[in-house]
Amino acid sequence: MTVPSGPASAEVPAVRCRSLGVSFGTVQALHDISLDLAAGRIHALVGQNGAGKTTLAKALGGLQAPDNGTVCIAGNQIPPGDVRAAKSAGLAMVHQHFSLPPSFTVAEALELTAARPESHSVYRRTELYRRWQNEVAEVGGTNVLATRIRDLPVETRQSLEIVRALVSEARILLLDEPTALLTPAATDTLFERLRGLRDDGVTILIVLHKLREVAAVADTVSVLRDGKLVLGPSEISGVSQGQLSDAIVGPAPDADRAIAVEAAANAEQQLLLELVRVSSRESAFEPGLASIDLAVEAREIVGIAGVEGNGQRSLVSVIAGLSAVTEGSVLLGGEEMTSAPPARRRLRGLRLVPFDRNSEGISRSAPLWLNQSALRLIGRRRQFPLISLRQYKRQASEAMDLWQVRYNTVAQPAESLSGGNVQRLVLSRELASGLEVLVAAQPTRGLDFSATNFVRSSLRGLRDAGAGVLLVSSDLDELFELSDRLLVMYGGSIVARFNAPYDRQAVGDAMTGALR
């Protein structure tokens, strides 16, 4: 069924929930949420990591059964946790993580998620291509139909997620942090698309992190804090930026407390990390490095800008010692490390905040204390072979307290932490003593703004304490704010070098290869 659209039906809210509560074990994720979302508008939902935004979106979409309370979609009450009922009431979710199976072709994926089961249960390929050619016209034309999902660039996958939602005849879209993986340009395109959908009468609830994006796209805004609705939905025009951030952070901001970073910077050694004409093989996703020269000195943050997939991952893994160098050399603190294993590089003061904190930064199933202490085990070969678990756990909990990781016990698995807390955990491990140079890859991606500020001030603190930082990011504002120097990668090489103050236009041109 479809939902009547337009201003005439504004009295029937597209989404209504009453006294919604969700708890996971002892943690109350959502607490007594009552919310009406008017039809045909773009509603933003903001809040810190762990505030319950994703849980609320899932509860509204029927993917999470609430413990109490009710959800009505377009006037129809949805049985708790019933995805099908929510779908047939016209609601579709666009997830934070992509929800299409990577090995499916685009046509197969759309067929899987189509609303009506077709009369024949068996199909021909050409029939699928014919059926879906119109839907994919906007996301890269019909030749995309036979492409596997995993081979699509990230922004095409994102727009395909919206196509997926729309082919199920959705009149209400829930988008969970759709901009987290997008470049600024792709974000603008996405917002353009959402405005178009709204003008066609689609109701949109979008979970966002950056207040700038809220102002850019939303009609109304609601704020969640600690599982409670603390603001809204209010007209965006009636809320100031200051009110919004106060509502998000709450009365007692605890995040910006400065942290004393001990960087064991070696006073004599200025050049901490050096890459001399380094080349590497291409990976499945990215070009390899093509003769890269790069140096990071003490007391500086060197930014790496570039559209994703231009060799940034190769660069980080070459420095970390995770992929082989075909030519050139890597030096840490003046010491030749080209073929040294990661552990030796870490002993020499290299620390790493990896791209994917959930898969590369932590072991999701291991307890917090083990994740936190992993580095302490490196270089233990010459020490006494037994360790004291109690001591390790105590040190881990001290470090995590210092970094304000929110956790219940050091024995809980790392996957139980929210995104921002995982990043704090990674930082608490990597930024411990012995650090000389830090490679930080997308350190604030997907973090709310208080966690983002926290990470950024930590990086600055590191620099001021004498360490060198290589910051890889796709957020130009972040790079401009933090970097002392900025390098732009394109197609596996460094195509431009900038010094502050930065010219956004010039950097942007370099990123798109206009300089070549």
* Binding-site ranges for another protein (CB under 8 A): 54, 63, 83-84, 87, 93, 95-104, 108-109, 111-113, 117-118, 121-125, 150, 283-285, 356, 358-360, 364, 415
Compute the least distance from the CB of residue 453 to another protein, in Å. 23
Nearer to another protein, 23 or 266 (CB): 23
Nearer to another protein, 99 or 234 (CB): 99
Nearer to another protein, 154 or 258 (CB): 154
Compute the least distance from the CB of residue 139 to another protein, in Å. 18
Compute the least distance from the CB of residue 377 to another protein, in Å. 23
> 244-283: buried (b, 16+ CB within 10 Å) or exposed (e) per residue?
beebbbeeeeebeeebebebebeeebeebbbbeebbbeee
C-alpha 406/C-alpha 400 separation (Å) is: 8
Nearer to another protein, 118 or 200 (CB): 118
Compute the least distance from the CB of residue 360 to another protein, in Å. 8
Identity of residue 342: P
Compute the least distance from the CB of residue 253 to another protein, in Å. 26
C-alpha 438/C-alpha 424 separation (Å) is: 15
Compute the least distance from the CB of residue 507 to another protein, in Å. 27
Identity of residue 239: V
- Displacement of CA 235 from its chain's centroid (Å): 27
A 10 A CB-CB count for 55 gives: 22
Nearer to another protein, 112 or 514 (CB): 112
Answer for the pair 323, 500: CB distance below 8 angstroms, yes or no: no
Nearer to another protein, 59 or 482 (CB): 59
Nearer to another protein, 124 or 516 (CB): 124
Phi, psi of 225 (to 5 degrees): -140, 130
Residue holding tokens 């034309």? 141
User: Which contiguous run of DSSP H or E holds residue 276?
Assistant: strand 271-280
Compute the least distance from the CB of residue 150 to another protein, in Å. 6
C-alpha 402/C-alpha 397 separation (Å) is: 8
C-alpha 268/C-alpha 425 separation (Å) is: 31
Could you tell me if residue 90 is left (phi over 0), alpha (psi between -120 and 50 degrees) or otherwise beta?
A: left
Going by C-alpha positions, the residue among 101, 60, 340 that lies closest to residue 224 is 60
Compute the least distance from the CB of residue 71 to another protein, in Å. 16
Phi, psi of 263 (to 5 degrees): -105, 120
Nearer to another protein, 362 or 410 (CB): 362
